[in-house]
Amino acid sequence: MCVAMPLLAQSAQLTGRVTTGDQAPVAAAVVSVTNPDSGWKRAVLSNDRGYFSLQQLPPGEYRVEAVKPGFKPLVETAVDLRARDSLVLELRLTVDPAPQTVVLDAFCRVNEAKSGGQDFVNCSPALLAVAGFRAFWP
């Protein structure tokens, strides 16, 4: 316990909600964070009310992306998280009538992995189908 507390004190969290322009929740959107300097990545799915939570993130600058079939991908760059920060984002997606193909990176191949109680995206074909994705890996 003494070792974990200093580590937790050095982490940050990012929470928020994925919605449409009219404030309707977007369920099962993939919300990912990427540290462009280190390449570190983590992703979660928004819940049925559009909420997501990414905890125990190493401090640094992140690129935040929200994607869901039928919507244009949303990218926020230069999201700066410092130790003990608790940042809340409202991610508003815009409807995209054009068909989309989503290519998922290798980090999505982690199946039901856990880190500090935070679920990673389970990229099993069944879960992706529920989220509305037709996915392939290059």
Give residue-wise pLDDT tens across range 72-123: 999 999 999 999 999 999 999 999 877 555 555 544 543 333 334 444 445 5
Model pTM score = 0.70
Q: How many CA atoms lie within 13 A of 29 on its CB side?
A: 34
Domains, the chain, ordered by start:
4-136 (2.60.40.1120)
Question: How far is residue 72's CA from residue 66's CA, in Å, rounded to a whole number?
Answer: 9
Place of tokens 């230069």: 78
Question: How far is CA 90 from its chain centroid?
Answer: 13
- Kindly state the average pLDDT of the residues 124-129: 53
**Six-digit token pair at 41?**
């990545």
Over pLDDT 90: what percentage of the chain?
57
Question: How far is residue 28's CA from residue 20's CA, in Å, rounded to a whole number?
Answer: 13
